[in-house]
Copies of this chain bind each other. A is one copy, B any other.
């Protein structure tokens, strides 16, 4: 840090097992990746190439190398996994992970119907090859999964070998964990937390108010995802109580605060 302030919450350090920030790259150019990393490497634990943007991104190998040289692991969005599965090309997908030398992969069913056993089987197979992030929640605003089902899916997917479970929100933060307005489904989150350790969940939370809500509930070291590259620094200040929204959260009655 550039100077010393008291009452700053302790942050986990890289390589982090929790307190993770997962950033979504939806098509940065190579120099834009360099710009982003030059500023945010310390605060970013994982980068997702959003949905199937990797299909159309030029210079993909070169781009992955920039991330690799900075020590920031990259994975392809779950929609790409689904695009291969729906086309009966799962074996191609496994080869693809090797071709691009990826260490992480996401298993999701945000756009397709997949029964729980099949999903867990995909997780088991990929676990032998990479570290698996498994996503729960639909991208369809109209498809509401009840809390007990979220919990059941999360438990099964962790048992099948998933390293972390991702709570779906999309780039916009308007489905899955959130209402169409972006408001958190508070009861859902609280019920999940009665059964699943917070450290095992990465909450997609692209909107600032969503990030603030989770930091207030779960502290500086909550795992958050779908952060846009330009928001990595702002998010770090929210975690540390250095933005208006969480300013008083870590001060324990120091002085007089709004």
Interface residues of A (CB under 8 A from B): 1-7, 26-32, 34-36, 38-40, 42-43, 50-60, 79-80, 82-89, 92, 96, 99, 110-114, 138-140, 143, 170, 172, 208, 230, 232-234, 236-237, 240, 242-245, 247-248, 251, 254-258
Contact = CB atoms under 8 A, between A and B. Distances in A.
A39 B43 contact: no
A243 B113 contact: no
B26 A39 contact: no
Contact of A29 (B5, B28, B38, B112): B38
Given A79-B243, A233-B57, A236-B56, A30 B26 contact: no
A5 B112 contact: no
9 contacts: A7-B87, A27-B234, A55-B242, A79-B244, A85-B255, A86-B251, A87-B254, A112-B255, A113-B258
A228 to B, nearest CB: 10
Contacts of A244: 51, 79, 110-111, 139, 170
How often does this chain occur in the complex, in copies?
Answer: 3
Given A39-B57, A258-B143, A26 B111 contact: no
A112 B258 contact: yes
Contacts of A1: 55-56
Contacts of A4: 92
Given A29-B35, A88-B255, A138-B258, 11 more contacts: A2-B57, A3-B55, A6-B89, A26-B234, A27-B232, A29-B38, A52-B242, A55-B237, A85-B255, A112-B247, A139-B258
